[in-house]
Amino acid sequence: MNLIIFDSKLDSSVALIDVLAFNLLLTGIGINYWFAAKYLSIENTQVPKIIFSHLLGGVFVTLFWLIIGYFISFSLVNDQSSYSTFFFATLKLRVIVGLLHYFLLTAFYYIVIYYSSFQEKLVKETELRNLVTEAELRSLKFQINPHFIFNALNSMSALTEIDPKRAKQMIIKLADFLRYTLANNDRQKNSLAEELKNIKLYLDIEKIRFEDKFEFVEEIDEACKNTEIPSMILQPLFENAIKHAVYETLDKVIIKLTCKPIEGFLKISLSNNFEGESHKKGAGVGLKNIRERLALIYHQDNLLEVKKENGTFTVNIFIPLDKTI
């Protein structure tokens, strides 16, 4: 429209007043289109109502712009008669420009609002997924303690009558174990060395019950000790070894824990010898728990491996070294 005005051979000062008055006014009015787009939300308003409201709004705003712009320019020019003639000669074009400006700018605001809402929704969905994952992890973690406590209480109950002294020792060990567990309850991760302290408290408890029926052997690479792993992730493996090998096997059971870095992973292996079908029953809950926790934390479902070969039951856990918990 500015080119047409300048092309109309209008006096340069009059043309400049016209351009400044109408353009500045249009800019000021255009800012307010944002509120119209925000108030008439696409998500919360019916489409016919939006179309009708904006048609009405476009016409009203264009008329407002033309009337105010005309009176401002008219009051500033010297040759008012010539300006009036020029203004009404270009009125049709001005109406088209006003309506186009309204609808194009409003559409732009809708795109900006939609994009902002979309990004905000993505952030909220991510936060929600994180909260759900955290809740699931806590739930899986809390499944471990009741399982162990149930077994320990059963063991202590059995010892209370036949050997009260050993039962007392077992209670003290259990208290130490629970104290350690509670102190680390809110932690999602621990170093392997810290986890082993907890495991040894657990084995001390079971040692009172089973005495020389099992032996714990560890071969831990120095590089593994300070690497962080999910807290309590090893506990179910030792419970399974005690429950399904030591308890069910007549021969001495060797529970062996090894750890070494392999190709970007920390490979933790727990193996034990067993007899007959002892590892066929009941070991699924603990392993399922570990598999789900690893998948939730590291977003991989192949970090747990179970093998039964030549009378040895082995569980391998792979902790990605390049991922933080």
Structure-token match 């071969």, residue found: 219
Q: Is 46 left (phi over 0), alpha (psi -120 to 50) or beta?
A: beta
Beta bridge partners of residue 191, listed in sequence order: 228
Would you state the structure tokens that stand for residue 239, as one six-digit string? 């419970």
Residue 281 has what pLDDT? Answer: 57
Distance CA 102, CA 53 (A): 12
Residue 215 has what pLDDT? Answer: 93
Distance CA 213, CA 220 (A): 23
Would you state the structure tokens that stand for residue 202, as one six-digit string? 């657990």
Work out the average pLDDT over 50-68.
90
pLDDT of 155 > 80? The answer is no
pLDDT of 182 > 80? The answer is no
Work out the average pLDDT over 294-307.
89
- Residues 70-94: pLDDT tens digits? 999 888 888 888 888 888 888 998 9
pLDDT of 317 > 80? The answer is yes
- Residues 247-271: pLDDT tens digits? 777 888 999 999 999 988 999 999 9
Continuous segment of H or E residues that includes residue 253 = strand 253-262
Going by the DSSP 8-state scheme, the letter that residue 270 receives in this structure is E
Residue 26 has what pLDDT? Answer: 87
Distance CA 227, CA 319 (A): 9
Residue 148 has what pLDDT? Answer: 65
Residue 192 has what pLDDT? Answer: 92
Residue 245, classed as helix, strand or coil, is: helix
Beta bridge partners of residue 272, listed in sequence order: 255, 313
* Among the ranges given (80-84, 104-108, 186-190), the one the predictor scored with the smallest mean pLDDT: 186-190
Among residues 231, 236, 224, the alpha carbon closest in space to that of 260 is found at: 224
Residue 146 has what pLDDT? Answer: 67
Question: Max CA-CA distance within the chain?
Answer: 119
Q: Is the pTM of this model over 0.95?
A: no
Residue 60 has what pLDDT? Answer: 92
Split at pLDDT 50, 70, 90, the class of 239 is confident
Indicate the residue type of 104: L
Going by the DSSP 8-state scheme, the letter that residue 252 receives in this structure is P
- DSSP codes of every residue in 286-308: HHHHHHHHHHHHHS-S--EEEEE
Beta bridge partners of residue 259, listed in sequence order: 220, 268
Work out the average pLDDT over 228-243.
86
Work out the average pLDDT over 231-235.
84
Residue 133 has what pLDDT? Answer: 73
Among residues 223, 236, 237, the alpha carbon closest in space to that of 266 is found at: 223
Helices (H), the chain: 2-7, 12-31, 33-39, 47-76, 80-89, 91-142, 144-162, 164-183, 192-210, 222-225, 235-241, 284-298
pLDDT of 325 > 60? The answer is no
